[in-house]
A and B are shown apart, each in its own frame.
Chain A
Amino acid sequence: MKLYERLMTIDRRIIYGILLGVVTLPLIFPSVVKVTPMSPVEKLFTAVDNTTNDKALILDCSYSPQIKAEVEPMAIAVLRHAFKTRKKILVLSLYVEMIGLATRAINQVVEEFNSNAQTYEDSLIYGRDYVFLGWQPPPIVPMLGMGESISNIYVVDYYGNQTDTLQMMERIRNYNDISILVALSGSRIPISWVAYAQNRYGLAVGVGCTAVSGADFYPYYQTGQFTGLMVGMKGAAEYEELVEANYGVKGRRVASEAMLSLTYAHLAIILFIVIGNIGFFLHRRRK
């Protein structure tokens, strides 16, 4: 068999095996990769940072288990940032299957902070510092309804408390009291937030999305409809970097740990594409 024929007929299992090795080795033997935050992520970070004491931010954790690897690090990074800077935060999910992941992210970060807290004031207290609104179907109902009254839409929170009796909700009534909504999703939900909540109520929308959605979402960032944008695991790593660099928040940085594997995997795939093309052109020339 000639070289170009071999190049054209490499068994896919060999490619999978190489890719597995390339991804696994940097995870087992990690080394530091410097992540440089890009402008879209910096803008989101600044927007969350600029939330004033009289306002809250909403974190929409609408990501499902299949995209957890990309989006969960974003949720954790945003929560760390918000809690470290003592921003009031409302968390919600627009779909039922995402509730569990949202709960997991909140619990993890709250536990991180509370395990280091010395006093009651330092601790993160449910109802005072954060509220988990849960899930209210269909998505358009909370998107539009929270513009009028949050506690009318979410009469009870995820844990069954009357929302309007929670301390934090005394001042947080509707979108006028929200500085920014950060939508974390692998679908077109962020565009729905723009279409309904931003168009009608002027709500600022920041986005964390999967890399697959990235190319579709950049036009909305360019027009200013998205205040900031985190794309894929790289975006999450950039946000993690900003949170640690600016506020010294320590904690496991899952996305940053993956950057070396991601880089090597990309190099391997580029190599495969080059080899495939060489094989193709050699084959065509022979014909």
Chain B
Amino acid sequence: MNISTDPWIWISSILSLAILSFLYKENPFFRAAEHIFLGVANGYLVTFYWHRILMPILFRPLFQQGQLLLIIPFTIGILYLTRFIPRISWLVRIPIAIYMGYWTGVLIPATIQAQIIKQVQGTVLTSANFQSWNAGAWGIVWSVIVFIGVLCTLSYFYFSREHKGVIGVTSRVGIVFVMIGFGAAFGYTVMARISLLIGKLQFLLGDWLGIIR
């Protein structure tokens, strides 16, 4: 056993234990650690944004180096604050409209390409898709399963017709695929949460108490 002498490790460990104590029941130690975390995180973000964004990218170039074009984004940004002045609060619509217009323009084509067209291409039964599994002849089987799974799942979410007849059958198959997807997601979530617990224990038992290497 080789207990750490680093005060930061001690602070971190005590706060970790305070947060974990919630698993037993809510208590003042947990609440204190929670508030410290919120305060520190917000303080960190505010100072970082000030020193790393506002000062070097906006204020210094604009007011010290005379890059006057920056007045435009500066003014647009300042308009966000008009929300706090009821008489001119309507001005906040200008930056919101610019922001929405920009992001809609940027996001729609990129999303359609990356998340719809490419994914549909990956579902179609082609020899390239069969080979992408690196599973030899089994690649065809996997591709067919994906193909059936996508069609049946889509039919489950088709609500314009009652789920009877052909749609009834496909939607029932679809719900099986949906459940398998939920199961996979749940399994991965369990793995993730346990991994985080392991990481915390590695820190407490290793860096703090020195029980493990």
Chain A residues within CB distance 8 Å of chain B: 13, 16, 19-20, 23-24, 27-28, 30, 39, 66-70, 96-97, 135, 137, 140, 191, 194-196, 198-199, 210-212, 214-216, 219, 222-225, 231-234, 252, 254, 257-258, 261-262, 265-266, 269
Asked whether A223 and B199 contact (CB < 8 A) given A96-B48, A96-B49, the answer is no
**Can you sample 22 A-B contacts with CB below 8 Å?**
A23-B198, A24-B201, A27-B198, A28-B205, A39-B134, A96-B52, A97-B45, A140-B106, A191-B114, A194-B114, A195-B110, A215-B184, A222-B122, A222-B132, A222-B146, A223-B121, A258-B202, A261-B198, A262-B194, A265-B198, A266-B194, A269-B194
The A contact surface, by secondary structure, is helix
Bound together, the chains give a CA A269 to CA B115 distance in angstroms of 34
Q: Are A212 and B198 in contact (CB under 8 A)?
A: no
Q: Which of A195, A233, A269 has the most CB atoms of chain B within a 10 A radius of its CB?
A: A195
Interface residues on B, range: 35 or more
Give B114 Cβ to nearest chain A Cβ, in Å: 4
Across the A-B interface, how many residue pairs have beta carbons closer than 8 Å?
Answer: 124
Q: Are B122 and A69 in contact (CB under 8 A)?
A: no
Asked whether A27 and B205 contact (CB < 8 A) given A212-B192, A232-B191, A262-B191, the answer is yes
Q: Is B113 an interface residue (CB 8 A)?
A: yes
Chain B residues whose CB sits within 8 angstroms of the CB of A66 once the complex forms: 196
Identify the closest chain A residue to B195 (Cβ): A233
Chain B residues whose CB sits within 8 angstroms of the CB of A30 once the complex forms: 212
Asked whether A233 and B24 contact (CB < 8 A) given A96-B52, A266-B190, the answer is no
Give A170 Cβ to nearest chain B Cβ, in Å: 25
Identify the closest chain B residue to A232 (Cβ): B191
Q: Is B197 an interface residue (CB 8 A)?
A: yes
Q: Are B122 and A219 in contact (CB under 8 A)?
A: yes
Bound together, the chains give a CA A87 to CA B190 distance in angstroms of 35
Q: Are A195 and B196 in contact (CB under 8 A)?
A: no
Chain B residues whose CB sits within 8 angstroms of the CB of A210 once the complex forms: 192
Identify the closest chain B residue to A73 (Cβ): B199
Asked whether A258 and B121 contact (CB < 8 A) given A28-B212, A70-B192, the answer is no
98-138 of chain B: CB within 8 A of chain A: 106, 110-111, 113-115, 118-119, 121-122, 132-134
Bound together, the chains give a CA A269 to CA B195 distance in angstroms of 13
Partner of B114, one of A27, A198, A269: A198
The B contact surface, by secondary structure, is helix
Bound together, the chains give a CA A109 to CA B114 distance in angstroms of 34
Chain B residues whose CB sits within 8 angstroms of the CB of A252 once the complex forms: 213
Q: Which of A27, A67, A231 has the most CB atoms of chain B within a 10 A radius of its CB?
A: A27
Chain A residues whose CB sits within 8 angstroms of the CB of B121 once the complex forms: 223
Q: Is B185 an interface residue (CB 8 A)?
A: yes
Q: Which of B122, B197, B205 has the most CB atoms of chain A within a 10 A radius of its CB?
A: B197
Identify the closest chain B residue to A210 (Cβ): B192
Q: Are A265 and B192 in contact (CB under 8 A)?
A: no
Chain A residues whose CB sits within 8 angstroms of the CB of B110 once the complex forms: 195-196, 199
Chain B residues whose CB sits within 8 angstroms of the CB of A223 once the complex forms: 118-119, 121-122, 132
Bound together, the chains give a CA A28 to CA B205 distance in angstroms of 8
Q: Is B179 an interface residue (CB 8 A)?
A: no
Chain A residues whose CB sits within 8 angstroms of the CB of B213 once the complex forms: 252
Asked whether A69 and B198 contact (CB < 8 A) given A97-B45, A195-B113, A232-B191, the answer is yes
